[in-house]
Structure 1
Amino acid sequence: MGLLDNVLSKFSESLVINSALCSRIRHKKSECSRCMDSCPNEAIDITRAGGKVLVSWESCTACGECITACPNSVFSIKLVDKNRIYTAMKECIAESGEAVFTCLKGKDDCRAFLPSLAYADRKLLVKAALCGAERIVLMHGECGDCRHSKCRETFEKEIDTVRRIFQLAGVDIKISVETDAGNKDKKRAAERLRKDEKAMSRREFFSFVGNRTKQSVGQTIYSISENDQDRKKTVLFAETDRGKSFSEDLVAIGGDALPGLLRKEGLLPSVSIDKTTCTNCAVCSRMCPFGVFEPIYKEIKGRQKVIDIQMNLNACTGCGICAIACMSKSITCQK
């Protein structure tokens, strides 16, 4: 593929996909379909074990449902977008003490723009609290006219979970959902062009096209500037780190006991091994992409043998691939 073809193919891409983290790609018996079930446009397809997670970019609307639905972070926003969101969030907190996330673009407000509020998952909201937010606001527009039809249901579930996290952590941070009524009367140039409510002037048209082109090219050049192999390594490391970072954030906000309390309420996944039936084959450690299982080796008759399996529960995402792969059926995973 030439440079121009590569650039053009990147225009529509909204997410970074790491197929190596998908449980269905890692094991043929995995029946996980959370991303496909959550996608309102049927834009996601998983080929086979050892294959790839594919997205039809023509159908994808960047609603973010798959990011929130997938426990293994197969889908993630581009680094350039993540940095922009975090920078805006921190500036907002520094200015007003509030973290305001919105799906409405605006130049005058101190807000962190998200393509959809479905991106406002528990990881992001907990991070906002750790950055000093005294209040978290999710600002939306007219949801009835929005193409992201499942968004509200998704972010309200995440808010309920985060409120419980704050309660168990003893943190008094309010989370509210508000409507930006002022946006009802604002007509964007794109809407005016699409609905033909009022003809755009020549100056308006070229200004609109120019701004959109600059934005798209900027994001595209950023995306193709990375070597593909380096990008794969970076994504794998970054997304494995993402789960670890969330566990560390939970401990930072509520102490070492908080993850255990959340597991008891089913708000965090949990995994256990029946030591009486475990054969120490260590296949779980090879299948898990997040290092939950650590084989303990001992030299016996000149050979290294696994004598035990230790677990890091804070790294568990609840994908269940360990239980599927375990030949002795010794692993129980509570999602």
Structure 2
Amino acid sequence: MLTQPEYRATRCTRYRYRYSECSRCAEACPHEAVELSDEGIRISASACRNCALCAAACPTEALLADNLPRIEVLKRTAKLPEVTFACAPSELNGDEIVPCLGGLDAAMLAYLTSRGVAVTLAGTQHCAECSHGVRGEARLGLHLEAVEALRGIVGSQKWAEISVPDEGETEPGKAGHDPSRRHLFRRFVGRGADQLTRPISATEVQPVPLKAIRFAAPFSTAGRELLQILFEAAPQDHVPLPAYPALYAAKVGIQPGCTACEACARACPTGAMQIRESGTAWELGFQFSRCVGCGVCVEVCQPHVLHFQDEMENLAKAPEPVILHALGKQRCTRCDRFFISPAPGGNLSDLRRGRCGFFVHFWLKESLMLTVPMNNFQICRLVPRPQAEAQHR
């Protein structure tokens, strides 16, 4: 009996931020079994065929497929000289039977081949007949392209090859032949894969109210940790790594205009966006080694100053976050509470104190910055002066 992937809501960007437009799992599903909503997603038990493509497409690992346990598979195969992955619909034999070859993500394939494990993908000639085939083949192309990029950055001297059997030469119970990577990429890369998964750009995001951000404890993903392992012994003077959607890693940049609303840090599921405070300063930090490129920080950013950069740095674990934005704290002369000034070293003559009480705020020429409690945490927002004055009467 087929089962459906387990859904972990607190890892889902649509659950963490109800206005998120992430649809990676639905776009990867070939059976239209994933239903999207402001509360997250729901998987239709009647439509799902448990191909695990939705789980492979999710950068935050909100979906967990029991028929493709990635860590257990890696433990069984990492010490073998070679391993054959066969897709279940093809009925071919292999060391590991997987529901769809497109469910083998780039982190898994790179981890094995970087350790000298030769990987054979058996059953690719069955994609045209398989109900998973169109989406599965495109997902596999994305992952192979990402592995090739990693191979070129880290160095391929010790990396083993990924191969597929020739079309027409594979029978049930047998897999053979080892074509070149060029032949492999001609078959799989560039088959509409860019339409399945792509980074979110700031121009695609529409402004929405800052509400319904569900806060939960940050977590790390197994795929991101596997990518970091590849760079533990890598040279530090490597060329920058281009951003690939299937790598589930990204480098976030910032433009001028941050309002210090902290929404990006509240919505970030992995803790890559961090708020660091002291008695005198407020800082927005970015922990690159925790970022999986889900894009929820870019979506939730109201002034649209956050963006994904085109290139990434070393994927190894970074000891300290990069400070994207820093502001100095000031003390309110009426309530004695701290507030954040609009810019480091800002001119306090531009600030006009107002009543505090339930709100902590300061006047900034034509606007009022309000800090209000929402969902057990505080959010700052800019309110036009006439509206703010009306609220405080």
TM-score w.r.t. the length of structure 1 is 0.67
Partner of 2:106 in structure 1?
122
Q: What does 1:1-335 correspond to in 2, within 5 Å?
A: 12-48=2-38, 51-78=39-66, 81-82=69-70, 84-90=72-78, 93-94=79-80, 97-104=81-88, 111-133=95-117, 135-140=118-123, 142-150=126-134, 151-172=136-157, 173-178=160-165, 181-183=170-172, 240-252=220-232, 254-256=234-236, 261-263=240-242, 268-274=249-255, 276-300=256-280, 307-334=282-309
1:257: Cα distance to partner?
5.7
Change in Cα spacing, 1:290 to 1:263, as seen in structure 2 (3 Å) is: farther
Question: How many residues were matched structurally?
Answer: 260
State the shift of 1:72 in Å: 2.1
Q: How far, CA to CA, are the matches of 2:241 and 2:58 in structure 1?
A: 19
Q: Is there any run of 5+ residues in structure 2 with no aligned partner, and where?
A: 175-216, 311-393
Between structures 1 and 2, the one with greater strand share: 2
Question: Which deviates the most, 141-150 or 18-27?
Answer: 141-150
Higher Rg = 2
Q: Deviations over 1:243-285 (max 9, x none)?
A: 4413312313644566x722467764221123x4223332211
| SS of residue matched to 1:322 | helix
1:328 is paired with a residue whose SS is coil
**Residues 15 and 265 (structure 1 numbering): CA distance in 2 closer, same or farther, change over 3 Å?**
closer
Instruction: Give the whole-Å Cα distance in 2 for the aligned partners of 1:278 and 1:171.
Output: 41
Q: Secondary structure at the match of 2:14?
A: helix
**Aligned-pair CA distance for 1:109:** 6.1
Which one-letter code corresponds to 2:120 in the other structure? V
Q: Which runs of 5+ in 1 are unaligned?
A: 1-10, 186-235, 301-305
After superposition, the Cα gap between the structure-2 partners of 1:31 and 1:108, relative to the gap in structure 1 and judged at 3 Å, is closer
Normalised to the residue count of structure 2, the TM-score between the two structures is 0.58
Higher helix share: 1
Identity %: 22
The whole-number CA distance in structure 2 between the counterparts of 1:317 and 1:323 is: 13
Which whole-Å CA distance do the structure 2 matches of 1:105 and 1:321 have between them? 35
